[in-house]
Amino acid sequence: MESVQAIKQRFGIIGNTAGLNRAIEKAIQVAPTDISVLVTGESGVGKESIPKIIHQLSHRKHNKYIAVNCGAIPEGTIDSELFGHEKGAFTGATQTRQGYFEVADGGTIFLDEVGELPLTTQVRLLRILENGEFLKVGSSKVQKTNVRIVAATNLNMLEAIEKEKFREDLYYRLSTVDIHLPPLRERQDDIHLLFRKFASDFALKYKMPTVKLTDNAIQLLLKHRWSGNIRQLRNIAEQLSVLEQDRTITADTLRSYLPATANTNLPAIIKTTKSESDFSSEREILYKVLFDMKSDLNDLKKLTMELMKSGNVKDVEKDHEGLIQKIYGGDDDSEDFETAEDSAEVLSIPEHSSSIEDPSGSDKYHFAEEIEEEETLSLHDKELELIKKSLERHNGKRKLAAAELGISERTLYRKIKQFDL
């Protein structure tokens, strides 16, 4: 088994941090097996190096190695690219085509940005991982393939599963071994080393002297967040190599090439979405408020009925002092009295009357029933009355009546049949 240092030299990997060394060690250990591997890490950390190491150290090294960027293939054609298609399977399929899994039989496929795969394609991929079987697009013939799959993603896969954008069963089949590559900001000792390597490479490429950093520029380089990781560092080194006449780069010069907002230490993003428990507690509070309102309304009804029965505000105030205070919230007796008295005036209750008599002499509560009857007049009756009036006004002409009522003639005809007019 080759050492970590030998693998770094062989594949051109720069750096010596513990996280990087551990990732390479895991790749070396898992390479001789056929276990599926998931490489995780931020964009630009160099995830594509791990599947190359695994393939070259495996018994498949003499067979095909195919790298596929899943995020770069349109959703409508990705099944055809991966699994192939039969002639006439879709518009433009003028001949049968082999997919990557058929071409790479016996070798290794690297699925970069596997988190971007559509759900339908994920089902097909799961079948290959389980039993090596797949179907070409437009074919019913099951085919076999013997492919080692190494996948990579910069997404948080657990969040993607929670949002139902990635299948949980596929995730656990892909991540039998999880190899994580640390971001560049966690590799402080490697940043300047990588910059010097890139600067040397570009000096050879463009046939010009190598750029060098001053001490202050090195400190600035180390403090930068490098959200684009190694890819961003390489880009900065190339820009400096090509554009700067002075081959000694100061901190001010370097700062002009760095994004202005990238050096700020931004506060952590706090998740603002409410959990289920938050909504549950809000519902409980709402139910309590509604219950209290219902209770107060019942108390108010009770007080009103007492006023209607006795007609004496003073007596009601004396007998129901606690109830009045609860409803009107006053501490002063005079305020309670005035509020209750105002209520009596609104209800047109004589203050010293012992009973409420109807002018007809029939029932002392007759007028209250009439009020209630007026308030609860049904929508059906109102609708019927309006239709009758409109038809009478237009001498039975449904078209004119419908226009006046703001409904279609067909709806009016249905209403006429419904009310038997």
Report the C-alpha gap between 12 and 61 in whole angstroms.
Answer: 18
Residues 6+ apart with CB under 8 A from 313: 307, 337, 340, 341, 344, 351
Buried b (16+ CB within 10 A) or exposed e, 2-32: eebeebbeeeebbbeeeebeebbebbbebbe
Q: Which residues of the chain have pLDDT under 70?
A: 1, 261-281, 307-379
pLDDT on residue 362:
47
Report the topology of domain 185-255: Helicase, Ruva Protein; domain 3 (1.10.8)
Residue 268 tokens read as 């952590």
pLDDT on residue 269:
53
Report the C-alpha gap between 119 and 115 in whole angstroms.
Answer: 10
Alpha-carbon torsion 358, 360, 366, 371, what sign? negative
> Which residues are paired to 112 by β-bridges?
69
> Do 129 and 174 meet the contact criterion of CB atoms below 8 Å apart?
yes
Report the topology of domain 4-182: Rossmann fold (3.40.50)
How many degrees, rounded to 5, is the angle at CA 176 between CA 174 and CA 182? 85
> Do 126 and 167 meet the contact criterion of CB atoms below 8 Å apart?
yes
Report the C-alpha gap between 308 and 311 in whole angstroms.
Answer: 5
Torsion, CA 271, CA 277, CA 278, CA 284, rounded to 10: 180
Beta strands in 271-384 (DSSP E): none
Residues 6+ apart with CB under 8 A from 214: 248, 249, 250, 251
Report the C-alpha gap between 210 and 200 in whole angstroms.
Answer: 6
**Domain ranges across the chain:** 4-182, 185-255, 295-375, 379-419
Evaluate whether the domain defined by 379-419 bears CATH number 1.10.10: yes
Task: Tell me the pLDDT tens digit for each residue of 297-316.
Answer: 777 777 777 766 666 666 65
Buried b (16+ CB within 10 A) or exposed e, 113-125: bbbbbeeebbebb
pLDDT on residue 131:
93
Alpha-carbon torsion 68, 147, 149, 172, what sign? positive
Model's pTM, two decimal places? Answer: 0.61
pLDDT on residue 332:
46
Task: Tell me the pLDDT tens digit for each residue of 386-415.
Answer: 888 888 888 888 888 888 888 888 788 788
pLDDT on residue 125:
95
Other Cβ atoms less than 10 A from the Cβ of 236: the count is 21
